[in-house]
Copies of this chain bind each other. A is one copy, B any other.
């Protein structure tokens, strides 16, 4: 997790202007638990910053992705963003469908996968979805399936 200050410093170092919108965005993602869709971001930011426009959200999401602060992932429901993982070693994620919180998986299935020699692997994706302890309990209380 990168802190708000680190993000602001990085933006500044790259010659980008530190506007209120960007500060709000940096604060949101530095504190956010899971993945956020552009709409989530717009809604959350709207609370702090009224008169915000959607295009600024998109623009800044892209800026922060190019900065390396955010990472974009495609889910069934669409694009989502979160703070770029800091773990220096390769890893995957368990993702809670309730709160969106992620947990690292150190194990990489590529080590175990028998790839034919004539298939040139470029990238891979391994994600586990489910409910974390808190969200699983909540499900149970509500009698969800």
Task: For the complex, give the distance between the alpha carbons of A127 and B116 in Å.
Answer: 15
- Interface residue A122 (Cβ < 8 Å from any Cβ of B): yes
Which of A3-11, A54-62, A102-110 makes up part of the contact surface? A102-110
Contact A94 B119, beta carbon cutoff 8 Å: yes
**Taking the nearest CB of chain B, how far is it from the CB of A107, in angstroms?**
6
Query: Total interface residues on A, using CB and 8 Å?
Result: 33
Q: Give the number of times this chain occurs in the complex, counting copies.
A: 2
> Which residues of the other chain, B, contact A109 by a CB distance below 8 angstroms?
107, 109, 112-113, 126
Contact B115 A107, beta carbon cutoff 8 Å: no
> Which residues of the other chain, B, contact A136 by a CB distance below 8 angstroms?
118-120
Contact B114 A121, beta carbon cutoff 8 Å: no
